Chains A and B, each alone.
Chain A
């Protein structure tokens, strides 16, 4: 049962254009959402997050949008740079019990073409 789904295993974008990575979830208990970036042979790195009380969070070139009614979130990278080439994981967590339990999606490999 895949509770967090990233249906696009890969994405190629030209440098300078927008990259849009999508994520869907099924568990209504999720109320905190995160994006992680992973380079080969390294562990995932936290990128940006959003709580369910918001529908948008922006950090520099990275913006995450949340549509709770559709159980959908997306990560926008503008402008895309070659260094953004990596695997991006969407993750979600319920905020309860004083700690988080994070469920990851399967990842989308982004390639930014110079």
Chain B
């Protein structure tokens, strides 16, 4: 079984620039998550999709972050414009709607200078 794929693995940008991350979940997983993990903290849920509909985006800074999941498969997360405090690892995860079997991708490490 192929795992959750993410790209790029690393990205360095200057503040006020834009950046986009891509995620391909495990085939058949209807639920897709984007998490932000700041150094020394646990992952924080940014947005959760069920198929291509959003079920939770309460912690997504909507003035600068956006995410979409076209056709209920791949997803992109965009930041525009980036701030220094956005430096973090962005984790994509997917699952069936059953607690426990959530599979994480390797993450994208973003550095904003």
Taking Cβ atoms with an 8 Å cutoff, the residues of A that contact B are 4, 6, 32, 34, 36, 41-46, 49, 89, 91, 93, 95, 97-107
Q: Are A106 and B42 in contact (CB under 8 A)?
A: yes
| Segment among B65-73, B80-88, B92-100 that sits at the interface with chain A | B92-100
A-B pairs under 8 A by CB, number: 59
Q: How far is the CB of A49 from chain B (nearest CB, A)?
A: 4
Q: Are A4 and B42 in contact (CB under 8 A)?
A: yes
B31 / chain A contacts, CB cutoff of 8 Å: 99
Query: A106 with B41: in contact, given A93-B99, A98-B97, A99-B31 (CB under 8 Å)?
Result: yes
* CA A103 to CA B99, docked complex, whole Å: 12
Query: A99 with B106: in contact, given A32-B99, A104-B43, A107-B42 (CB under 8 Å)?
Result: no
* CA A34 to CA B100, docked complex, whole Å: 7
Q: Are A99 and B102 in contact (CB under 8 A)?
A: no
Most chain-A Cβ atoms within 10 A of its Cβ — which of B55, B97, B100? B100
Interface residues on B, range: 20 to 34
Q: How far is the CB of A8 from chain B (nearest CB, A)?
A: 14
Q: Are A43 and B106 in contact (CB under 8 A)?
A: yes
Taking Cβ atoms with an 8 Å cutoff, the residues of B that contact A are 4, 31, 40-45, 48, 50, 55-56, 91, 93, 97, 99-107
Most chain-B Cβ atoms within 10 A of its Cβ — which of A4, A41, A44, A97? A44
Q: Are A89 and B42 in contact (CB under 8 A)?
A: yes
Q: Are A101 and B45 in contact (CB under 8 A)?
A: yes
Q: Are A102 and B45 in contact (CB under 8 A)?
A: yes
A-B contacts besides A99-B55, A104-B43, 18 pairs, CB < 8 Å = A32-B99, A36-B104, A41-B106, A41-B107, A42-B106, A42-B107, A43-B103, A43-B106, A43-B107, A45-B104, A49-B100, A91-B42, A93-B99, A98-B97, A99-B31, A101-B45, A101-B48, A105-B42
